[in-house]
Amino acid sequence: MNKQDVFIKDEFIGKAVTIKACSDPAWIGVTGLILDETKHTFLLNVGNQQKRIAKESAIFEFIQEKERIVVDGARISYRPEDRIKKAR
């Protein structure tokens, strides 16, 4: 199992994330802190605002132990409690 496979089964709330690609170009390059997660969305703290983004619409970049991990949102579109069993 590679680092990305292990990472996608981890808790995302509290992690910083950057949107690398998105079906909505306004999201590309946005960085925020994940406040909450549902099956289909992340709630991000971006500046002084809370914004919700659909997981399947974006590719996310996380920094974990000084290493960049890029995750396609389609791979993590599960309820957080189910992701440990289902994410591939």
Q: What is the CATH number of the domain that holds 81?
A: 2.30.30.210
Sequence-distant (6+) residues with CB within 8 A of 17 are 31, 32, 33, 34, 42, 44, 60, 61, 62
pLDDT in tens, 39-71: 999 999 999 999 999 999 999 999 888 899 999
CA 15 to CA 17: how far, in whole Å?
6
Q: What's residue 80's pLDDT?
A: 85
pTM of the model: 0.91
Q: What's the total number of domains in the chain?
A: 1
Q: What's residue 88's pLDDT?
A: 62
Domain coverage including residue 37:
3-86
Mean pLDDT, range 81-88, rounded to an integer: 74
Q: What's residue 38's pLDDT?
A: 94
Given a cut of 70, whether residue 15 has pLDDT beyond it is yes
